[in-house]
Chain A
């Protein structure tokens, strides 16, 4: 439990950093930390493969792309943008609170039933997932490969000047 508390505090602080920093690069770093710590939360919930996938895909790959895009657009200059205060800010807070309420209304009942989320040993192990993925979910697996192929072709078509 103490492990979870430490991880949760770091994760929440990092998440706050994402929102509160005005420089996009700093926000991105906080997001990296958040994803990384989140992976460890998955680990202690017995979701091993999910956690390590989180680090490999999100922390190691997608955030690099994020940083590249931020640097590509040169957003992170010293004169970072300041948001103007207007009615939309208030509206944003309102919608945010509403969303939090909706999520909480679904979650709180579960929290009442269990003192902490629980999964059996080996539930999220690579072996268990490999078993299921290639028997029950083999069709989505193949479709995913087509999707990735489309992604490859699409990104090249978009980014390449001349083929």
Chain B
């Protein structure tokens, strides 16, 4: 327990340093604000609408999968500390248990990869039939494509 006091102190000191860093410049710097200075930076163009727009659900999916896999690791941390130096009976039994666990993990991971859950560019991984109406104009045409097509214009 005594060790954790040190960590509490470290965390407290880190918080104080961070707070000081952020507020010092606020205290020390001059304050000559103009409406133009205070507008959001959009390369000099008048900002249109609120910036807090809704964003793709993919980010949510990433966070969700992160939690699930993170919890899968959390279950193992305690085992890792015992496994190496334990008696043989415990070792063989827990080894079997963890291997079953890992098989289920791998099934989950394989499913994630197989259905392209973490995939930002669906046009490269998803079959065209599943993308709905194929839009030829949406496909980027590269120089290599043109070579292969043979300059059919």
Q: Chain B binding site: helix, strand, loop or mixed by DSSP?
A: helix
Judge whether B7 and A61 touch: CB under 8 Å: no
| Residues in A whose Cβ lies below 8 Å from that of B61 | 155-156, 159-160
Total A-B Cβ pairs within 8 A: 150
Number of interface residues of B (CB under 8 A): 55
A162 touching B54, Cβ below 8 Å: no
Contacts of B115 in A (CB 8 A): 156, 160, 163
Interchain CA distance A148-B111 in the complex, whole Å: 13
A44 to B1, CA, bound (A): 5
Those of B62-110 within 8 Å (CB) of chain A: 63-72, 74-75, 77-83, 90, 93-94, 97-98, 100-101, 104-105, 107-108
- The yes or no answer to A145 lying at the interface (CB within 8 A) is yes
Chain A residues contacting B71 (CB-CB under 8 Å) are 57, 61, 148
Give the dominant DSSP class at A's interface.
Answer: helix
> When chains A and B are docked, how far (Å) is the Cα of A71 from the Cα of B51?
11
| Minimal beta-carbon separation of B103 from chain A (angstroms) | 9
Q: Tell me the A123-139 residues at the B interface (CB within 8 Å).
A: 126-127, 129-131, 133-135, 138
